[in-house]
Amino acid sequence: MAGERITMRTGSYSIILMIAVMTAFFPPEAAALPSYEQVKASYRKSEAVLLDRHGAVLHDLRIDPNGRRLEWVSLRDISPSVIRAVIQSEDRGYYAHAGVDWRAAASAVISRLFTKTKRGASTITMQLATILNSEYRPLRARKTLMQKWDQMTAARELERSWSKDAVLEAYLNLVTFRGELQGIAAGSRGLFGKAPHGLDADESAILASLIRSPNAPAGTVGRRACLLALSLQAGDRCRDIQDLSQKILTAPYAVRMDVALAPHAAAIIMKDADRSRSSTLDSSLQAFASGVLQQHLTTVRSQNVHDGAVVVADNRTGDILAYVGGIGSGSSARHVDGVRARRQAGSTLKPFLYALAFERMILTPASIINDSPLEVPTATGMYRPANYENDYKGFVSARTALASSLNVPAVRTLMLIGPDDFVQSLSRFGLSHLESGDYYGPSLALGSADISLWELVNAYRSLANAGILSEMRFTFNAPKSKRTRVLSESSAFLVSSILSDREARNLTFSLESPLATRFWTAVKTGTSKDMRDNWCIGYSSRYTVGVWVGNYRGNPMWHVSGITGAAPVWLEIMNYLHKNVRSMPPKPPSGVSMQEVQAGSGDGPARTEWFRTGTEPPVAGQAGIEAEKAGRRARIIYPSEGAIIALDPDIPVENQALFFEADTDGADRQWLLNNKDLGPSGGPVLWRPATGSYVLTLIDKEEQVIDSISFSVRGEAMGVQR
């Protein structure tokens, strides 16, 4: 022991002697250290700032995984108790020395000689020099003599060019307090959840005690903070300080950001960013949409609804104005982006199905489709589509079938088009990752495909843009998107006309519902199988809004429909967008015309209807018109003028029949079909349909024409040979 003590003393005296000699014969030279202005300018937060379209801060997103650094804090914005505690703990003579505290250095050597206490002598300025230049950091457990000398030299140079306040401010912003928490802002927010100016004496003592050993156990830090508080004559606060230290340092810390409105959008936009980045988002709209979604989910939580998402896009530019991927801490999976997650689309695909039927001139909005029980054989068994209300409406127009979201007519329409052709059409609208038509079968008509809200909103936006598809964007400097026509302007107009028709929607949704706005909108809801997903997608002349609600874990909701699920959120956002903005219906394009049609059974009175040019029904014969003028009430009730009858390919031809019905005014009348006698019209006449065009005529006993209509039959029934 004696030998070791003599060796230690000899080594320590040598250090003092060498420092004295080096000080005398090697005066310090200018160290290659930056200025205060350079240090502050080069400081980088570990978070990048996302700005909205007006320059307002929208979100802070962490981009540096190596440390947590928040904003640079000026000395005047740091609690005085922190400054006192740090100086007392790390450098009591801070304001008296010029970078090196020689008296403290000598005391440290003496302590090592006589008490074996490892007392540090690095001033705050010396520690800052080490932070700024990694060459001063020890290669092993302790610094070498030359490293110590270079550190002291750098500290003295810093004190020549920096003010004391500048040195202390930089030190507090760069020093590590705990784990990855670097700087006073991260330490204060991460450990105590408050800004640096709000720290009290106990919290300041704990933070100052962490500098010496940031990852020390809570008990050790508490004892150090207790002694520090006593040395500051703060009274005997030991019990409170130790309790606080135990509470804070044994629990996971979390840095709560000041602005966190768009976490999912920020993760996309700021993926490769190193600083701030502007976006097309609107912070006011983003906050409103988030708040409305969260509030509504609270009201339906008892119905097992926990998650939701919202997208708002500008129709013309494709600018994303709001992107709500979830509701944060209230979500069942807060990190899941509900906008990009793929879920069953439900009835939101029906507009594209009917659009394709209009495009190919297979149907018109006036076409009559039979909404009655249907069985379709599939590889897995018999498929039996049913409406949401589990009832059937009989013969309805295509307009009513789409607007009221009837399921059986949609399946019948898909059978006319073919699932593969429908899949190809959906792909042209930007709906990706689809399987083949055979994979879905007839259920594709009811939205069995998995689609994201992002894709659906842009597909509906193409309807709003008269059939033109382009990409949506988050930033103004995004590459210009290619504009592609995916649907004729006339077919897009017909779909928009139907989706905005309150009366046609009334059969299922009633005239007054969250789908009815005081300004022009076209909207569609959708609910997936077993009520796992609920959608509401719609557009005005200016904006497209999409809302999804459900559960990320796939749990079914309880008694949630399109009206009670997503639609209320959609309505509130649309009303917000159009507080001071008008929305007018689209002007009819050159490729459409309007004509009066007689409604089918159960589909209301005669009305005017839009048709693509070339699909208009022929006007009734003059004899029929003259008979009507003469006061005769006899007329053909079904089929209606211009009706297109669709044969079902999955039902044997012998099981399919069409009935003709007329109001005969009690007189004897006779049916003619393409001038062939079908017999008297005293009751409904059943006829087995075959593909072709037909003229159905009602004549009296003098063989005078009372009424005449034209209709067509398309498709093929099971068992028909060609």
Residue 668 confidence (pLDDT):
75
Q: Tell me the pLDDT of the chain averaged across its residues.
A: 84
Residue 105 confidence (pLDDT):
64
Residue 436 confidence (pLDDT):
92
Distances (CA, A) of 497 to 46, 318, 404, 492, 519: 51, 22, 13, 9, 14
* In the predicted structure, residue 626 carries a pLDDT above the cut 60: no
* Average pLDDT of span 239-262: 87
pLDDT (tens digit, 9 = 90+) per residue, 179-233? 899 999 999 999 999 999 999 999 999 999 999 899 999 999 999 999 999 998 8
Residue 146 confidence (pLDDT):
67
pTM of the model: 0.72
User: How far is residue 224's CA from residue 211's CA, in Å, rounded to a whole number?
Assistant: 11
CATH number for region 2-53+66-249: 1.10.3810.10
Distances (CA, A) of 464 to 280, 309, 459, 497: 20, 21, 9, 11
Residue 403 confidence (pLDDT):
96
pLDDT (tens digit, 9 = 90+) per residue, 429-471? 999 999 999 899 999 999 999 999 999 999 999 999 999 999 9
The percent of residues above 90 in pLDDT, for the chain, comes to: 51
* Average pLDDT of span 647-665: 70
Answer whether the bond into residue 639 is a cis peptide, omega within 30°. Answer: yes
Place of tokens 């219906």: 585
Residue 33 confidence (pLDDT):
81
Counting Cα atoms < 13 Å in the Cβ hemisphere of 480 gives 1
Residue 387 confidence (pLDDT):
78
- Which residues, 6+ apart, have CB-to-CB distance to 617 below 8 Å? 366, 595, 597, 611, 641, 642, 643, 709, 710
The answer to whether the CB of 129 falls within 8 A of the CB of 10 is no
Q: Which helix (H) or strand (E) holds 190?
A: helix 183-192
Identify the residue with better confidence: 604 or 50: 50
Tokens of residue 674, six digits = 């393409």
Of 321, 347, 682, 649, nearest in space to 474 by CA: 321
- Of the candidate ranges 116-120, 145-149, 191-195, the one whose mean pLDDT is the lowest: 116-120
* Average pLDDT of span 249-258: 81
pLDDT (tens digit, 9 = 90+) per residue, 336-378? 999 999 999 999 999 999 999 999 999 999 998 888 888 887 7
- Which residues, 6+ apart, have CB-to-CB distance to 82 below 8 Å? 172, 184, 196, 199, 204, 207, 208
Rounded to whole angstroms, the maximal C-alpha distance in the chain is: 142
* In the predicted structure, residue 505 carries a pLDDT above the cut 80: yes
Identify the residue with better confidence: 120 or 333: 333
Residue 605 confidence (pLDDT):
67
Identify the residue with better confidence: 722 or 79: 79
Residue 112 confidence (pLDDT):
56
Of 607, 554, 302, 355, nearest in space to 469 by CA: 355
pLDDT (tens digit, 9 = 90+) per residue, 631-655? 335 677 777 777 777 776 766 666 6
* SS3 category, 386: coil
* Average pLDDT of span 484-490: 97
184 backbone dihedrals φ, ψ, rounded to 5°: -65, -35
Tokens of residue 702, six digits = 């003098």
The answer to whether the CB of 104 falls within 8 A of the CB of 123 is yes
pLDDT (tens digit, 9 = 90+) per residue, 567-619? 999 999 999 999 999 999 999 999 999 998 865 544 556 789 999 998 888 75
Residue 670 confidence (pLDDT):
85
- Which residues, 6+ apart, have CB-to-CB distance to 65 below 8 Å? none
Position 167, amino acid = V
Residues in the chain: 722
Residue 422 confidence (pLDDT):
96
Position 552, amino acid = Y
Any idea where the domains of the chain sit in the sequence? 2-53+66-249, 291-577, 617-714
Residue 25 confidence (pLDDT):
45
pLDDT band for position 620 (50/70/90)?
very low
pLDDT band for position 717 (50/70/90)?
low
* Average pLDDT of span 659-673: 76
User: How far is residue 142's CA from residue 116's CA, in Å, rounded to a whole number?
Assistant: 16
| CATH ID of 291-577, from 3.30.720.210, 3.40.30.10, 3.90.1530.30, 3.40.710.10 | 3.40.710.10
* SS3 category, 414: helix
301 backbone dihedrals φ, ψ, rounded to 5°: -60, -35
Residue 274 confidence (pLDDT):
67
- Which residues, 6+ apart, have CB-to-CB distance to 407 below 8 Å? 347, 385, 386, 387, 388, 445, 446
Distance between terminal CA atoms of the chain? 111
Cα Rg, the chain, nearest whole Å = 39
500 backbone dihedrals φ, ψ, rounded to 5°: -100, 5
Give the domain 617-714 fold: Immunoglobulin-like (2.60.40)
User: How far is residue 446's CA from residue 342's CA, in Å, rounded to a whole number?
Assistant: 16
